[in-house]
Amino acid sequence: MLRKIVKKITPSPLLGILYQVYKLLIYRTNPKQTKPDIDLDCLAGMIAYNKFGGYCLPLNSIQRPALQATLRGVVWEEETVEFMRKNSSGGDIIHAGMYFGDFLPGLSQACDNDAIIWAFEPNPQNYQCAEITCLINRLQNVNLHNAGLGHTNKTGVMNTIDYQGRSMGGSSIIIDESSDIDAAYTETIKIVSLDSVIPKDRHISLIQLDIEGYEKQALLGGMNLIKRCNPILLLENPLPDSLWLEEHIYPLGYSVTGEVQGNSILKKLS
């Protein structure tokens, strides 16, 4: 009866008061509608779709371009995804900096039947969203790791919040532990080396790194793998400095052969 009365009242401050009284009465008289305890640190996300599948988007970085594109049904960095799809045959893919898994459905569909996508994301909330993205799409050939890539296995510190209090999303960066960035803007993360994670009997056809300036460390941690498999390297620009490349990568026979959407393509030519 009170619900009908409230509906007939002209909107006014009294309406809000009556509605609150109505809710209290319902909660007291109907135990099934008791308010649940809410974990304020729980994962907040929403689902969006594009032509490759569905995605769990972390709402704490709703402002990020990749997330905004996915909300519109657009494939973020579609040319990059297509390049990886066309160059994934013959082996596994290493995909580092996977964010909420926006590349995973498209890559998974293009892989050989026995191939695996080894995907790495150190940010805990982004990783949880990527897990849900895999569940939404029933991806069976993705091996997820809640870790960043580095030279050795260790713990590290990642800057995940900017000075405006917003999540940095896929732009989160691993920082030196001696950095003066306030701890409130960082998280402790796990760092692993590719050589310690990828089994020696797996052949890798392509390594893609979008890890915000930590490429040197990641490549050093996978040198045995690179020498064994000669994969295509797809590295976000800017590349590591030329002196470092001349010391570590070019002597292996690699050269820069092109670019796709701000990522340099390095292939072994000899």
Q: Is the peptide bond before 238 cis (omega within 30 degrees of 0)?
A: yes
Distance CA 84, CA 30 (A): 55
Per-residue pLDDT at 244? 97
Tokens representing 216 are: 């040197």
DSSP-assigned letter for residue 31: G
The pTM (predicted TM-score) of the whole model is: 0.81
Distance CA 226, CA 60 (A): 36
From edge to edge, which strands make up the β-sheet containing 186-192?
148-149, 186-192, 154-159, 173-175
Amino acid of residue 163: Y
Contact 49, 55 (CB under 8 A): yes
Per-residue pLDDT at 183? 76
Tokens representing 81 are: 């995804």
Per-residue pLDDT at 178? 65
Distance CA 100, CA 46 (A): 11
Per-residue pLDDT at 109? 97
Distance CA 161, CA 184 (A): 8
Burial of 177 (C-beta count, 10 Å sphere; 0-12/13-18/19+): exposed
- For residue range 120-172, list pLDDT tens digits in order: 999 999 999 999 999 999 999 999 999 999 999 999 888 888 777 777 877 77
Q: Spell out the per-residue pLDDT of the chain, length 270, in tens.
A: 444 443 443 445 554 554 454 444 444 444 443 444 444 467 889 999 999 999 999 998 898 999 999 999 999 999 999 999 999 999 999 999 999 999 999 999 999 999 999 999 999 999 999 999 999 999 999 999 999 999 999 998 888 887 777 778 777 778 776 677 877 778 889 999 999 999 999 999 999 999 988 999 999 999 999 999 999 999 999 999 999 999 999 999 999 999 999 999 999 986
Distance CA 35, CA 91 (A): 51
Tokens representing 114 are: 């026995």
C-beta neighbour count of 138 within 10 angstroms: 9
The 10 Å CB-count burial string (b at 16+, else e) for 229-266 is bbbbbbbbeebbeeeebeebbeeeebeeeeeeeebbbb
Q: Per-domain residue ranges for the chain? A: 2-33, 77-268
Tokens representing 77 are: 């960095």
Distance CA 190, CA 213 (A): 17
C-beta neighbour count of 58 within 10 angstroms: 25
DSSP string for residues in 32-71: GGPPPP--TTS--EEEEEETTEEEEEEGGGTTSHHHHHHH
Contact 73, 188 (CB under 8 A): no
The CB-based long-range contact list for 71-79 (8 Å cut-off, 24+ gap) reads 73/48, 73/49, 74/50, 75/50, 75/51, 75/106, 76/102, 77/103, 77/261, 79/260, 79/261
Per-residue pLDDT at 40? 46
77-268: in CATH 3.30.70.1400: no
